[in-house]
Every structure is written in structure tokens, then in C-alpha cells.
A and B are shown apart, each in its own frame.
Chain A
């Protein structure tokens, strides 16, 4: 069979195209990342978060005033008792708060605190939840009378935790341990334990029923090896997504605790939730005092939520084409 070179090239090019198509079988994560980059919501979320982290980490070194420095009162500009709290000016971009402190500096330093509370409490929830869920999932996967019993018992505990209103759980933990920064973190973290536990257990069980695990088992791969190389990595994706989403709720939850007066009692460290709570009595005089931290909380939570949702979408096998 003879083919002129020009035409042959054409066919070769096609074969090439087809071959490139085959390369699409790249890893789940690469593919997810590629789709994440194309999603504007993910980009917005990521930009918000990068800015937030940047401000939280670097910002406090560059604040114009000390966050606890009552300059306004010292200078006699702020008389909150008489309802005089000056707003923004050239020197104090966001004005003073009721104790005469510079709001801009407090917002910047507060970002670090908010990030800290969010991350640590999410990690606490993730660690405990993953431990319970992982044990329950493994027990259910191994089966047997004991396996099922352990799984059932653990899930009963988790169900009870779910039944309790999360805030009351947090409030009673805060009451039990006494108000402190660590308490806030633990209280907020514990609230997210059931979510992580159920998620990890659920995806572990569904993974262990999947065909590739069956295939690996039939090839004689050890159960522990299957768990480490297949089940855990594949169960991880939804957990990471959930962690991102939980960061948003953790920040809001921490603010609610502060609002109820169970936040960090150490007033030397400003935190957005505390600032928002502190501003309540002055809503009539200067609502901006509440609006700044509230908007900051909303935008940060939005950033985590946008990114988390976009990640969920990117990792969803149903949406993959």
C-alpha cells in the first residue's frame, strides 16, 4: 500500500492526537487541579485566602499602632461614655474603637488570631474525627462480630454528638474547661468531630466495596497494604474538602462563642469575633465598629467556602467527563 508523504503525515498526526487523548489518564489530583484552575469561584476563593494568610502572617509586623494601645483615650479624642468615637481619618484609617484603640491595627492583628483559631480548631476536629471515623471504618471493613460491634458503638457516640446542638456542645465545653484561647479551639474543634468521623468512615466503607479493592484482594495483596495504598488515599479527598469548608464554619463558630462571652478572655490579643461582640453596645453610635470585623469574617469564610466547594466539584467523579 502506498501513501504519499503529505497524506501520511496527516494520518500520523491523527494517531498522535489519539495518543494524546490517552494521556488523559493522569492522576486524580492533577486532573482535579486542572479543573480547579478553570473554575472562577476557585480562583476568587484562593485569592481571598492568599491575601488573608498574607495579612495574618506578615501584617502584624507592619501595623501603625499597637492593637491594645488606648491612644484615643490618652489623647482625649474618644469618650465612649458620651458617645464620642471618631471614625476614619488620615491617621486612623478605620477610626478608633470604644477603648480608643486603632481599629485598623486591631483588624490586622486580629486576622492572625482568627486564622490561628480556625486552623487549630479544624485540625483538632479533623484529628479526633479521623481517628474515630478511621477506626470505625477499619473495624467495619474488617468485619466480624467484633469489628461490627466497635463500628456500631463508635457511630452511636457520633450520632449522639450530632444530636446535640453544636453551639451548646461548644458552650458546655467552654464552661467545662474555663474560658481560654485553647478552650475556644477545643470547643469549636469538637463540634466538627462527627462530620469528619462520618465522612471518613463512609468513604472508607464505600472504597472497600469498590472493584479495585476487590481486584487487589484477589491478587493477594495484604489487607493492611490495600488500606494504606488504596483506601486511605482515596478517602482523603473528601476529608480535605471538608476541612476547607470546616475552616469557614470554625471561624464563624468562634465568633459566636465570643459573642456569648465565652471567647478568649485575654483582651490583649484582638480577634474579629471579640471585636464584633465588643462593638454590640455601640451599634447605635458607630455601626462601622461591628461592620469591619463582620465583613472580614464573612469574606474569609466565603473564601474557604468557595475554594472548598470548587474542590469538591473538581474531585467529584460524577462531574468528570
Chain B
């Protein structure tokens, strides 16, 4: 049984006098213990809302409705009362957010922001807590941790702040860590370090990680399984290698095709997906991606496409999926596989350090391209 089983999760915001917004519209995915799962999609596809709904952190407001299930270790998180939810948060499930500066309290020293988690969930106080906090900061690679404990967020650099946030998140050795765009607000060089750190922590502690990102480079470097989201639904789920090598859903194909590459020929152009996330068909009327899709056929409109289960546990939600490689579009797709020097993705050094279990995807296509 999986550690986290999200089933038909939906989040709607109803506002007086306005259209009801389906931010998340029936998302299902699962996370096994120790696994790294990616939730990928453009901004506005509902990936962040999904994570906040699981954590019970959506801002309370009238008209907010959360449906479906999010079963963590046998209990449905969505059914819990506020108190039990607070018990689980920070102890069993922790979260890392996008912008480390605004996610840290500016008027509370870093030390207290770490020790308050220890006090809450591990009952640690005083010197013991301070010692543990210093150890945690040391563990996430913050030099001179004792001094840093007394400092305030504005005295730390961006990368250090994100490390501090990670230290708070892993303070109680959670079984599940949700990282919502943890590197988006950081410099490219720092991004790689933070991803490396996350990978290392996850590997050492056996924590499962849900990686929420729009950056395919991040996904390629870290995730075991990837869920591609579009308009509040999962449109394709696959292991990393098959997803990059043979994406089936046209949206996934499009995402991979719009990544710029350094090794592309001079004349080659990017293949952006036409239109924007706003050109969406409501799911009940057909495939939400249909208005932007290049493989659109009659069957796309009218009814929502069913989830198609394919071999190897992968699935996609499309009536006219991209054919498997060897046939035409696969060639383009293979070309989109990230390589070491891609901007915004995991740099090359991340790849050789990869443990065998999650063998880096990066070098693979190059080998294939040679023959």
C-alpha cells in the first residue's frame, strides 16, 4: 500500500457573482514510501493548490470546497479535525515553500523558528532543542550553525534561507516531504545545490518526496514517477525514463518540446504550445487541452477523455495519444530530453552522483543519439 493515496481530489472556489473556479478537478496520484514523485505543469494547473489541500493549508474562505480523498498511512487527511491535522503537519508530513524570504518570519530568529517545531512535536526544550537545531542547520549545510541560530532571516542569503526552511521541514524526520517549487526563487547555481541537498536528505532518511515544479530539468534530475497536470487534472503518469523517452499525452509532448536546448542547431526553433492555460475547455465538455492541441480529433470534444492504463503502470488521459517512438513524433520528443547544460535544469554534476536506483536520465539519450 502506498504512503499517500490521493483519490479524485477536487478544490473549487465559489465566489458570489462569479464563475466557480475548479482549481483542482479530480486529481489522483499515489506516493510510495521513499519515492520521489513529481507534479508537473504550467502555473495555474492546480499543482500548488493540490499540495495545500493535502496539508489542509488552503486559506479558509467562504465558497471553498475540497472533495475526494487524500489517504496518508490509512487515514484520510481531508476528514481530520484541525487538531489531529496539526499533529500530523510538521511531524509526519512537512512542506517546503517557493519563496524562502517571505516564508520565514522576519521578526523571529532562525533558531526559534527551528526549535518551535522540535518543541511542538518532539517535546524538546532549552539547550537540547538548541543543540538539535544547530545539528539540523549543520546537516542542511549551513556553516557556523550556532551563530546562525541567533540571526534573523534578512541576515541570510537566499540559499541559506531555503536551507533553513528545509531544516525546519526535516526536523521531525517526516515520512513525506512536499516541496512546492523549492528552487524557483533561487539563483541557478543555488538551485542545483538545493536540489542536491533534497536528494541527499531523501536518500539518507527514506523520506518520500513530492516535488512540485514547472521545471522539467528538476523533474529529470530527481523524480522516480511523474504526474503531469493540466487544468486541475492529471493527464499523464509515468516513470521518469519512459515519460521523457516516449511521452504519450500531447501536452507532455508539448511541454518537452518547449524546453530550450543548448545543443540544438542554430536554425532550430523551439516548439511552444500555442495559446495559454486560460484557453481551457471545462473537463466535462471534453479534453481541457483540446483548444491548444495539435492532435485534436472529433472525439476530443463532447466527453472527458478516460484515463488509459498502459503497460508499466503508466497512464494517460487522451483519446489520440502520441504514438510510441520509432514512429514520427517520438523523434522530436527524444530531442527534448534535457542534457547537462540546459538552462534552469539540473547541471551535469548532479548526474554522476546519482545513486543507481534513480539512475540519471541525463546521459542516457546521448548514448542513444550516438549510434
Contacts and interface: CB of A to CB of B under 8 A. Distances in A.
Interface of A: 1-4, 7, 10-11, 14-15, 18, 21, 38
Does more than half of chain B's interface fall in helix, strand or loop, or is it mixed?
loop
A1 B278 contact: no
Contacts of B296: 1, 3
Interface in B267-324: 275-276, 278-281, 285-286, 290-291, 296-298, 301-302
B279 A15 contact: yes
B111 to A, nearest CB: 32
B278 A18 contact: yes
A11 B281 contact: yes
Interface residues of B, number: 16
Contacts of A4: 298
Contacts of B275: 18
A231 B280 CA distance: 38
Interface in B143-176: none
Contact of A11 (B17, B278, B297, B301): B301
A158 to B, nearest CB: 30
A4 B301 CA distance: 10
Interface of B: 17, 275-276, 278-281, 285-286, 290-291, 296-298, 301-302
Contacts of A11: 281, 290-291, 301
A204 to B, nearest CB: 28
23 contacts: A1-B296, A2-B297, A2-B298, A3-B296, A3-B298, A3-B301, A4-B298, A7-B286, A7-B301, A7-B302, A10-B281, A10-B286, A10-B301, A11-B281, A11-B291, A11-B301, A14-B279, A14-B280, A14-B291, A15-B279, A18-B276, A18-B279, A18-B280
A21 B275 CA distance: 13
A10 B297 contact: no
A299 B290 CA distance: 57
Contacts of B298: 2-4, 7
Nearest to B300: A7
Contacts of A14: 279-281, 291
Contacts of A21: 278
Contacts of B276: 18
B286 to A, nearest CB: 8
Contact of B297 (A1, A15, A18, A38): A1
B230 to A, nearest CB: 15
B301 A15 contact: no
Contacts of A18: 275-276, 278-280
7 smallest beta-carbon distances between A and B, as pairs = A7-B301, A18-B279, A18-B278, A11-B291, A14-B291, A14-B281, A10-B301
B30 to A, nearest CB: 32
B231 to A, nearest CB: 12
A210 to B, nearest CB: 21
Nearest to B290: A11
A10 B303 CA distance: 12
A3 B298 CA distance: 5
B278 to A, nearest CB: 5
A2 B290 CA distance: 13
B279 A10 contact: no
Contacts of B285: 10
A38 B15 CA distance: 13
Contacts of B279: 14-15, 18
B13 to A, nearest CB: 11
Given A11-B290, A11-B301, 11 more contacts: A1-B296, A3-B298, A10-B281, A10-B285, A10-B301, A11-B291, A15-B279, A15-B291, A18-B275, A18-B279, A38-B17
Contacts of A10: 281, 285-286, 301
